[in-house]
Amino acid sequence: MTRGTPLGAAAAGIRRLLPLLVSLAASVAVADNATHQDRYEQRMAYADAVRALEARRLADFRKLQDRLADYPLAPYLVWREAARRVGSIRPAEMGELRESMQGIPAGERLFRSWLRAQAQSGRWSTYLAHYEPVDDATMRCYHLRALYRSGEREAALDRVRDLWVSPVSQPKACDPLFDVWRNAGRIDDETAWARLTAALEAGQTGLGRYILRFFQEDADVARLYHEAHTRPSIVARADRFARDAKGNQALAHGLMRHSRRHPRDTRALWHDYRDQRDFDDETRRKVTGAIALSNAKAGNDVQASPAEVTTEGAREVALQLIRDLRWRDALVWTAALPHEDERWLYWHGRLALDLAPEASAAGDGAESAARVALQAAAQKRSYYGFLAAQRLGIESRLNEQRPEEAGSGNGLQDLPAALRLVELYAVGDLVNARREWNALKGSLDDERLALVLERMHEVGWINQAIAGAWQAQLPDLLHVRFPQPFPEIYRRHAFTTNLPHPMLLAVSRQESAFDHRAVSRAGARGLMQLMPATARIVARRIRAARPSEADLFDPEVNIRLGSNHLAFLMDRYDGHRALVFAAYNAGEHRSDRWKRKASGMPTEAWIERIPFRETRDYVKSVLAFQHVYALRAGTSPPMLADHELLIP
């Protein structure tokens, strides 16, 4: 959702951003020996050096570079200068540059750019001599082309298959290699079948059609496989499919596709075919699961057991039964699911508890088992964990790791990468700052990672600290993951709109992770991610000045308009937050449509029924985040209020 500063525009933005960013970065102790004034001057000089380099004033650049020899970002000046002439760098110099930038992400990016330039210039021997295995299709194809040109033709061609068997089209750099490989007769039917399977399973029908040209003996069954994907009704003629592995695979694929529109008919066909043909166990489970899910979606009897389908298939069937309020069937399916996931612990416990009176009459201890499941779910700090705690009438658990626990250790003085990360943030180069973080997170223990996240949080890079705590699997650093920036603004507008302060924080936390510069793909802007059109409507409603798009990056403007929009929705939906948050994310017209014919439905089931996964996850997250903020503020509100337990 957020956008980092592009490298080419870094210099232009550095001076504009420095006053704000420097004040943020200087608000904490500097981890090395530089004074605050020294550091400020170095940041300004760095900005000047970048501008000089982009303007090709190399003499000025060299002078500034010499001044900044001890600055943590000195390697980035080396990288920027070398990147301008990467195609002309000789191997010896590249080796020296790489050595001097060891452990710095920009150094490896420079090396890969240089290596790519060698291939593009036809310097194949140089490419081959310096290539290192990397998960990049273009680089791998260049390597095999270089290997082929070196005389090791068979060795190169032997390794092409893994690149060609892909569910998507490969880069154009691979085309010359594929041409040679194909002309050498290396595409056999098994290879073509593997790629056809990958393409059809990925929904790449056009690529699948292209692959058909490479078949020889299996041409007929390959065309039938493709036809079963595009016209699955042909599965009614099972005699067209050979009784061998490929014929069975094509038939099974068509049955799963056919079941989406004709679930009952497909179930009848499968009932016959599965006894007449030698399908392997995995195929049987996949087909049975697909047909069971299609029938569940159509409101038909599932007529399958969890043991007959894959675990993922069982999850999908269970969820559909919950959405349709088919509680007894859902109880059977949730009971069979792995209970490490609090979602299924919650639903199984909830359903078992609701149905306990019936089960208890049979004397099977269902109520006790239900409470055990809910107790296990309630240990989690999550949407389902909080619902489970409310169901049991116990307090929700935060499982918080306090700052003093995370803050012990040796500090960051001996971590140059952490210093570079903070400085890159301070000068507005967020792209490279994120790259430093991505490299750093895999090399430190939890204690030192927590220290780095603390520093990111303290200098104001809040959204990245939030994301980083999750990426580093440190979810219990709640002071980092659930910060409260702009406190005066949020509190004032919570008061004026009569909304809970935790609600405004929760919406902003989900929408932008408190990045006031955030812009979504759809064009929503700022802390509370307001679309410009929505912001103008709200402004008219409250008789405020018409905001420009740039105004929406101002925290004061954005929070004022966002909080008033939420207040309007709270009034419109009588304070039912599930409906409010669905409307905030997907629009009032969709929230209205989804609630039709849902009157009296349990809210948790209605949320599971929301057709957009993004909105479904959004509503769950904001409800959970508001609960976390409220608990951290010392209050203990219910996860769902009494008037929110059912859809009105």
Average pLDDT of span 567-573: 98
Is 546 exposed, middle or buried (CB count within 10 Å of its CB: 0-12, 13-18, 19+)? exposed
Q: How confident is the model at residue 36, as a pLDDT?
A: 77
Residue 30 confidence class, pLDDT cut points 50, 70, 90: very low
Task: List, for residues 122-142, the tens digit of each pLDDT value.
Answer: 999 999 999 999 999 999 999
**Is the pLDDT reported for residue 25 higher than 70?**
no
Distance CA 492, CA 288 (A): 56
Which pair of structure tokens corresponds to residue 588?
Answer: 């009032």
**Is the pLDDT reported for residue 179 higher than 60?**
yes
**Strand, helix or coil at 475?**
coil
Query: How many other C-beta atoms can be found within 10 angstroms of the C-beta atom of residue 484?
Result: 18
Q: How confident is the model at residue 33, as a pLDDT?
A: 56
| 579: nearest Cα among 548, 619, 535, 533 | 619
SS (H, E, C) 377-407: HHCCCCHHHHHHHHHHCCCCCCCCCCHHHHC
Active site residues: 511
Distance CA 441, CA 557 (A): 35
Max distance between CA atoms of the chain, in angstroms, equals 90
Residue 22 confidence class, pLDDT cut points 50, 70, 90: very low
Q: Helices 36-54 and 74-83, interaxial angle, to 10°?
A: 0
Task: List, for residues 575-602, the tens digit of each pLDDT value.
Answer: 999 999 999 999 999 999 999 989 999 9
Where in the chain is CATH 1.10.530.10? 487-644
DSSP 525: B
Average pLDDT of span 243-262: 98
Residue 402 confidence class, pLDDT cut points 50, 70, 90: low
**Is the pLDDT reported for residue 20 higher than 90?**
no
Q: How confident is the model at residue 364, as a pLDDT?
A: 57
| 323: nearest Cα among 643, 580, 648, 647 | 647
**Strand, helix or coil at 646?**
strand
Residues contacting 260, CB < 8 A, separation 6+: 294
Q: How confident is the model at residue 590, as a pLDDT?
A: 98
Q: How confident is the model at residue 214, as a pLDDT?
A: 97
Judge contact between 274 and 286, C-beta under 8 A.
no
Q: How confident is the model at residue 365, as a pLDDT?
A: 64
Distance CA 75, CA 234 (A): 63
Judge contact between 617 and 382, C-beta under 8 A.
no
Q: What percent of the chain has pLDDT over 70?
A: 92
Distance CA 623, CA 627 (A): 6
The more confident residue out of 37 and 255 is 255
Residue 414 confidence class, pLDDT cut points 50, 70, 90: confident
Task: List, for residues 194-205, the tens digit of each pLDDT value.
Answer: 999 999 999 999
We find that the CATH architecture of domain 487-644 is: Orthogonal Bundle (1.10)
Q: How confident is the model at residue 340, as a pLDDT?
A: 86
**Is the pLDDT reported for residue 408 higher than 60?**
no
Mean pLDDT, rounded, of the chain: 92
The rounded radius of gyration (Å) of the Cα atoms in the chain is 30
Distance CA 528, CA 562 (A): 6
Judge contact between 181 and 154, C-beta under 8 A.
no
